[in-house]
């Protein structure tokens, strides 16, 4: 094994260390015990009135201290400095979660009667136009057709939007794959890095 290849190329020092090992050793977990307030002793005063009823009120509190142990996690500044590359965020597919059958049935079953009621109130109490059965049939057909149009248009625009999101997601996923390939190369390079404990120079050592 050529020991010289582990020497610092900047200052020549042999006091070097593997960066992944430095990163691993720079983390520690443990427990820390602190004295904290764990409860209170409450002082109360009870007053008895002439009619026999009693009232109790709080007059003060005294804190009670105790030892509390909590888990701890520490990371050295050097470990933060030599941390491995961060993976890119995977793009998420955004899609509208409509149930188109429920949307259509709900719109026709709820919106249609509501619009019919609104038309009835407007025609009878505001416009005050006498309506024959034939005229009411025409109004109902018009409202029904409007509701159906709105439902179909909503379904069409939602599907069109979802299609656009899928295309954008496919493009983003291609870019994500390239970023992941670069990330894997960076991790591979990071695993072969060494750091000089004298001057801080980082260099790669191939096995």
Q: Please compute the mean of the pLDDT values over residues 3-10 and round it to a whole number.
A: 86
Q: Are 203 and 194 spatial neighbours (Cβ–Cβ below 8 Å)?
A: yes
For 41-50, 51-60, 131-140, 193-202, which range has the lowest pLDDT when averaged over its residues? 131-140
The alpha carbon of 191 is separated from its chain's Cα centroid by a whole number of angstroms, namely 31
In this predicted model, what pLDDT tens digit does every residue of 171-184 receive, in sequence order? 999 999 999 999 99
- pLDDT-derived band at 146 (thresholds 50, 70, 90) equals confident
- For the chain, the average pLDDT equals 83
- pLDDT-derived band at 152 (thresholds 50, 70, 90) equals confident
Write down the pLDDT at residue 100: 53
Write down the pLDDT at residue 48: 85
Q: In what order do the strands lie in the sheet with 193-196?
A: 16-18, 193-196, 202-204
pTM over 0.85: no
**Between 205 and 94, whose confidence is greater?**
205
């Amino acid at each position: 094994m050529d020991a010289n290849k582990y020497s610092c190329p900047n200052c020549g020092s042999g006091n070097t260390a593997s960066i992944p090992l430095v990163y691993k050793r720079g983390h520690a977990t443990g427990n820390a015990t602190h004295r904290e307030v764990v409860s209170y002793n409450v002082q109360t005063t009870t007053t008895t009135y002439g009619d026999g009823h009693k009232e109790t009120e709080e007059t003060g509190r005294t804190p009670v201290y105790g030892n509390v142990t909590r888990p701890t996690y520490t990371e050295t500044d050097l470990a933060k400095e030599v941390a491995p590359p961060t993976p890119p965020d995977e793009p998420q597919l955004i899609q509208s979660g409509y149930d188109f059958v429920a949307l259509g049935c709900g719109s026709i079953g709820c919106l249609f009667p509501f619009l019919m009621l609104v038309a009835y109130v407007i025609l009878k109490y505001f416009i005050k136009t006498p309506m024959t059965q034939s005229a009411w049939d025409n109004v109902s057909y018009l409202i029904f057709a409007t509701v159906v149009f709105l439902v179909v248009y909503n379904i069409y625009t939602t599907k069109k939007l979802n299609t656009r999101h899928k295309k954008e997601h496919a493009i983003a996923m291609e870019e994500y794959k390239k970023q992941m390939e670069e990330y894997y190369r960076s991790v591979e390079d990071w695993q072969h890095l060494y750091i000089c404990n004298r001057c801080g120079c980082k260099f790669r050592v191939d096995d």
